[in-house]
A and B are shown apart, each in its own frame.
Chain A
Amino acid sequence: MSYVPVEEIIKSQKTPGFKTTPEEAPTEDFHDILFQLEKEGELIVQRVPEPYLEVPTKYGRKKKIPLQKTWHHKSCGQCGHIPGYSTSIFWINRKLGFDYIDPRDQTSCTAWNYYASATSNAPAQAAVAIRNFSSAYETGYFPIIHCGTSFGHYKEVRHELLHHHELRRQVRDIMERLGKKLVLPEEIVHYSEWVYAIRDRIAEHQVIDMSNITATVHPACHYHKLVEEDAVYDPEIYGAQRTAIVTGTLKALGINVKDYSTWFDCCGFGFRHILVSRDFSRSFAVQRKIEVMKEEVNPDVTVTHDTGCVTTLDQSQFAARAHGRKVGIPVMSDSQIAALAMGAHPYKVLQLHWHNTDNKPFFEKLGIDWKKKWQEFEEAVEKIKSGEKEYLTWEDADA
């Protein structure tokens, strides 16, 4: 039998990569229904402000991502326990000169009640979402969602609202009593999509070389598993076979992103588990994520893009270390590492003292003098303690 290099033929067939065909997407384009209902006067659609950027979603459709004039739908978990997360998002906006609003007329999505305890229901969740969207609409600024769960949940709520007339009626009635309108944004945008969309601009402002850093990525379940067609997939990243978010951003920063065999696994957060059954969250985060990364890649940092993931992956390492497990990977959000690359202060902006796992080796590898930086933060804190200053301002953060 004559030799045929069949494996080379097979490989070369794959080389052009996967071509998405948006016109043959298996799922409906929610925009069609959204704009139809708008035409029928059933709801108001808030348009993405121009100039916007376009990124591809799972089936190759384009998603509009606003550049600025954004209304920041904050995350309770981020603001409460890892506040450097949202601070970094705001800091990047300011650094790039983008106009935004950090609203007080905003509640969280309350999906924690929905997913954890089920002490809520579809109309309540939809009303909470629309109340927030309506508040954004009133300001003329476009909502951008910080939390992965809020993002995923709002996509579900949108689906329910678009398909159930009765639910729309219910929510419209509630909004009327609150003096608000039934508003849905043209796109539900997660902040990490925004970071991804402007990654080249972030890289242009990069002042810290990160080319010696190896990172792993944990994709947030509620970002890419809930309503999966509305998540960003890019032929350049994983051949459009996995979400491009975070990985694309890190690559733009010159970071060496390495794969590991539990990439798709959840972090173990579990909503009610992280609070009342933490043995599960801890075991899962350590055994299925951190230890696997450590063993297969031994990264300098692991980067993710949701509240619960940062918390679970980071906090769970403490007890595991006490038991001599192979852990010890600092955990950050994409916004934090992007801000750091752009020269943000590790404590005044990234606020890494709220995180748990030792990140000093990471800073040393980057040539950042963390002792000096911590001292600077302590000095700022002293001024607040002594009453010389009431708060740390944005100007102080960059001083």
Chain B
Amino acid sequence: MPSQDILVIGGGPAGLEAARSIADLGYRAILVEKRDRLGGTPDEAGYAALTPDLRNAEEAMNEMIARVQNNPNVELHLGATVVDAKGQAPDFTVTIKNAKESKQVNVGAVIICTGFQHFDPGRETQKYGYYEFPDVITLVDCEKMLKAHRVVRPSTGEPPERVCFIQCVGSRDRRIGNEYCSKVCCGIASKEAIEIKQQLPNAKVFIFYIDMRMYGYWENEIYWPAQEKYKVNYVKGIATEILQRDGKLLVRGEDTTMRRPFEIPMDLVVLSVGMEPSAGTREMAKIFGLKQNKYKFIETIGGALDTVSTTVPGVFAAGACTGPADLEDSISAAGLAAVKAISTVRQAETVKA
């Protein structure tokens, strides 16, 4: 039977924002999160500060969580996943399963916010040795270090004298099959570079890039300060390989601006890993019968003018489950998805009346 309740799948930034918007507008959201806690990737991966404003990630996420956690209009299912879906808008019957039991809920619309996962650098086409060398880490690992105020070389536990970021790992790469740009890594790497300089003022920090993609205010809020105030070295040219010499990581590439190959010893190398659809995103696409693009992100059908509608009416997708997205994108899309989902269930009500 048609329902006015809206199912939100995923308790990360997009899911939290969608659920809050639905509740604020006087509708009921059923929020399903597979982990035992809310907060999504920023919480799970232990982000220190958000991009671009460097706001404390934990504090920011706690604020978002607080708005839905004790909200009478939000029914929370933690440690639970959606395992089946039947029907069509505004009458879906969805099975939610947790460790103990399965439960069926009747909802009028669905918003999928299952997000992304970080690219596994074991699959890179260059030779960076993430699984071979302890001092090769990812943006996510670096975030953990920054949060703990303990930026060190994992091999020695000592702070690094030289750190570099390598951009586009797992993105913009035809050989890997991820031709897209992951959008956020330039900003995050630059943000982390600044934070490293704040915590280790004597460290020399390099960013090896192909194109720095610092849109809008990211340019003046992150890129320029990183270069001008923190003296981060931006080198146009990506490393081709990393090997060890004298206990250091030897990073090889071409400085394409200066037109010369470089070989620079580093203490710590941070791989700017891109985004891929999470396992949850793939699974939800299957369960709801949504079209996915060639990268297995959920395809939205409205082009630039509708970034949340999927191939199934009444099922919307917001955030990084539809493709690489920064927080600004995710939050905006989540609000839009909430409005569209409400409009779906309201129309149904009107027709019925």
Interchain residue pairs with CB less than 8 A apart (5): A1-B148, A10-B134, A259-B243, A261-B244, A264-B241
In the assembled complex, which residues on chain B have CB atoms less than 8 Å from the CB atom of A212? none
Contact with B along A230-266 (1 / 0, CB 8 A): 0000000011111000000000000000011111100
Does the CB pair A14–B150 fall under 8 Å? no
Interface positions, chain B 65-122, Cβ under 8 Å from A, are: 120, 122
Q: Given A17-B131, A241-B127, decide whether A264 and B243 contact each other with a Cβ distance below 8 A.
A: yes
Are B244 and A264 in touch, CB under 8 angstroms? no
Q: Is the pair B122, A241 in contact by a Cβ cutoff of 8 Å? A: yes
- In the complex, what distance in Å separates the CA atom of A14 from the CA atom of B129? 11
Q: Are A10 and B243 in contact (CB under 8 A)?
A: no
B154 contacts A11, C-beta separation under 8 Å:
yes
Which secondary structure characterizes the binding site on chain B? loop
Give the 4 A-B residue pairs with the shortest CB-CB distance, closest first: A18-B122, A26-B177, A239-B131, A4-B148
Among A10, A20, A239, the residue within 8 A (CB) of B141 is: A10
Confirm or deny: B145 has a beta carbon within 8 angstroms of a beta carbon on chain A: yes
Q: Shortest distance in angstroms between A229's beta carbon and chain B's nearest beta carbon?
A: 9
A296 beta carbon closer than 8 Å to chain B? yes
A9 close to B (CB within 8 Å):
yes
Contact of A118 with B by CB under 8 A: no
**A276 part of interface (Cβ distance < 8 Å):** no
Q: Could you tell me the distance between the alpha carbons of A191 and B269 in the complex, rounded to whole angstroms? A: 37
Any chain B CB within 8 A of the CB of A399? no
Chain B minimum-CB-distance residue to A295: B245
Chain A interface size, as a band, is: 20 to 34
In the complex, residue of chain A having the shortest beta-carbon distance to the beta carbon of B150 = A6
Compute how far the CA of A20 lies from the CA of B123 in the bound complex, rounded to whole angstroms: 8
B175 part of interface (Cβ distance < 8 Å): yes
| Residues on the B chain within 8 Å of A13, using CB | 141
- Asked if B150 and A261 sit within 8 Å, CB to CB, the answer is no
| B145 x A18 contact (CB < 8 A) | no
Decide: B130 and A14 in contact? CB cutoff 8 A: yes
B228: Cβ under 8 A from any A Cβ: no
Q: How many residues of B contact A (CB 8 A)?
A: 29
Q: B303 interface residue, CB < 8 Å from A?
A: no
Contact partner of B152 (CB less than 8 A), chosen from A7, A238, A260, A264, is: A7
Q: Which residues of A contact B147 (CB under 8 A)?
A: 4
- Give the docked Cα–Cα distance between A99 and B176 (Å): 40
Question: Could you tell me the distance in whole angstroms from the C-beta of B137 to the nearest C-beta in chain A?
Answer: 6
Closest beta carbon of chain B to A163's beta carbon, Å: 16
Contact assessment for A10 and B154 in the assembled complex, using a CB-CB cutoff below 8 Å: yes
Whether B149 is near chain A, meaning CB under 8 Å from some CB there, is yes
Q: Is B36 an interface residue (CB 8 A)?
A: no
CB <8 Å contact, A7 and B150: yes
A3 to B148, CA, bound (A): 7
**Which residue of chain A is the closest to B250 with respect to CB atoms?**
A261
Q: Are A6 and B148 in contact (CB under 8 A)?
A: yes
CB-CB under 8 A from A7, the residues of chain B are 134, 145, 150, 152-154, 157
B122 touching A239, Cβ below 8 Å: yes
A18 to B121, CA, bound (A): 9
Report A110 CB to chain B, min CB distance, Å.
28
Q: How far is the CA of A283 from the CA of B292 in the complex (A)?
A: 52
Which residues of A are found within 8 Å of B153, using beta-carbon distances? Answer: 7
Can you name the residue of chain A whose Cβ is closest to the Cβ of B174?
A: A26
Question: In angstroms, how far is the closest chain A Cβ from the Cβ of B200?
Answer: 14
Partner of B129, one of A3, A8, A241, A262: A241
Cα-based distance from A1 to B175 in the complex (angstroms):
43
A6-B148, A10-B137, A241-B130 known; 14 other A-B pairs, CB under 8 Å?
Answer: A4-B148, A7-B150, A7-B152, A10-B141, A10-B145, A13-B141, A27-B175, A239-B122, A239-B131, A241-B122, A241-B132, A242-B132, A261-B244, A261-B245
Q: Mark B180-205, 1 if CB is under 8 A from A, else 0.
A: 00000000000000000000000000
Partner of A18, one of B131, B134, B144, B152: B131
Task: Give complex CA distance A220, B147 in Å.
Answer: 43
Q: Which residues of chain A are within 8 angstroms of B145 by Cβ–Cβ distance? A: 6-7, 10
Question: Which chain A residues lie closer than 8 Å to B152 at the CB level?
Answer: 6-7
Q: Which residues of B contact A1 (CB under 8 A)?
A: 148-149
Which one of B134, B177, B245 lies within 8 Å of A14 (CB-CB)? B134
